[in-house]
Amino acid sequence: MSTPTEAQEHAGSASRRRIPARWIAAALGALLLAAIGFSTQYRSTESAAASGPKRFDPAAFGAQNYESKVVPAIEKKAVELPVLVRALAADKDAAGERYGVRQGTGPYSFAVKGTGEAGTAKSGLMPVTVPDLPEGTRVSLQVGPAINGTALRDAAGYITFGQFLNQVEYADAATALNNQMRQKLLTTLDAPSLAGKKITFVGAFSLLSPSVVTITPISIEEAS
């Protein structure tokens, strides 16, 4: 049997060997933090942004698409305006399927060309009297400074909503193309000087009514 002195010595030895649980938890926590530190790659805000999804740049989209893709697409698809308007008056849906482009359930958009007499531009619109149209049809060309609508984007035929992250980017793409048109065409166009003259035009419009045709142009020239 152990003497009291031996028992005390044995208890003291066991006490010294027993490590408090809080010390063990602290040590494990320190090891975990060290492991996380070694496995974590720290990046600056700039490098993180560079490696993430690239933000949509409307100005770049417009510059990359307008002259090289949108203009050729509309020129290639352009239908003589009197032919299209008569077809729309006869059967709007059939004309849309034959000549137009449609995004989802939205209106048909058309690429058109025509010849007529320019009127006096007012409130951003230049009226054009085009022969051989159904009676009462009003035709106008958007000449700025404000350019409205999505006709250039939609009538080109190759730009779809699925190419963009959301509706905001999709709308910004249309605005960027309108801005490019204004820069490439309207900044050098003397609309007042064309009043009363014969002109030719190519452009696009989205169908709201067959009797009211508001065209976003890609070219306007005085006819010889």
Give the span between the Cα atoms of 154 and 159, in whole angstroms.
7
In this prediction, residue 16 has a pLDDT band, given cuts at 50, 70 and 90, of low
Which position has the higher pLDDT, 224 or 111?
111
- In this structure, the strands spanning 79-80 and 138-142 are unpaired
Instruction: Tell me what the mean pLDDT of segment 125-147 comes to.
Output: 96
Backbone torsions φ then ψ of 127, nearest 5 degrees: -70, 145
Is 221 within 8 Å of 200 (Cβ atoms)?
yes
Is 180 within 8 Å of 64 (Cβ atoms)?
no
Is 81 within 8 Å of 73 (Cβ atoms)?
no
In this prediction, residue 112 has a pLDDT band, given cuts at 50, 70 and 90, of very high
Angle, helix 58-65 to helix 167-184, in steps of 10 degrees: 50
Whether the link from the prior residue into 127 is cis, omega within 30° of 0, is no
Give the span between the Cα atoms of 184 and 87, in whole angstroms.
32
Question: Which pair of structure tokens corresponds to residue 71?
Answer: 């203009």
In this prediction, residue 33 has a pLDDT band, given cuts at 50, 70 and 90, of low
pLDDT digits (tens, 9 = 90+) for 188-223: 999 999 999 999 999 999 998 889 999 999 999 999
Is 99 within 8 Å of 206 (Cβ atoms)?
no
Which position has the higher pLDDT, 148 or 103?
148
Record the pTM.
0.76
Instruction: Tell me what the mean pLDDT of segment 28-47 comes to.
Output: 56
At residue 48, the pLDDT reads: 43
Q: In angstroms, how far is CA 5 from the centroid of its own chain?
A: 89
CA atoms within 13 A on the CB side of 113: 14
At residue 165, the pLDDT reads: 95
In this prediction, residue 49 has a pLDDT band, given cuts at 50, 70 and 90, of very low
Burial classification of residue 36, based on how many CB atoms lie within 10 Å of its CB (0-12 exposed, 13-18 middle, 19 or more buried): exposed
The region of weakest confidence among 28-32, 79-83, 134-138, 184-188 is 28-32
Question: Which pair of structure tokens corresponds to residue 122?
Answer: 């007012």
Angle, helix 92-99 to helix 81-90, in steps of 10 degrees: 140
Tally Cβ neighbours within 10 Å of residue 189: 19
pLDDT digits (tens, 9 = 90+) for 66-91: 999 999 999 999 999 999 999 999 99
The one-letter amino acid code at 59 reads A
At residue 98, the pLDDT reads: 97
Give the span between the Cα atoms of 209 and 196, in whole angstroms.
26
Which position has the higher pLDDT, 9 or 120?
120
At residue 32, the pLDDT reads: 61
Residue 17 has pLDDT above 90, yes or no: no
Burial classification of residue 95, based on how many CB atoms lie within 10 Å of its CB (0-12 exposed, 13-18 middle, 19 or more buried): buried
Mapped onto helix, strand or coil, the DSSP state of residue 117 is strand
Residue 145 has pLDDT above 90, yes or no: yes
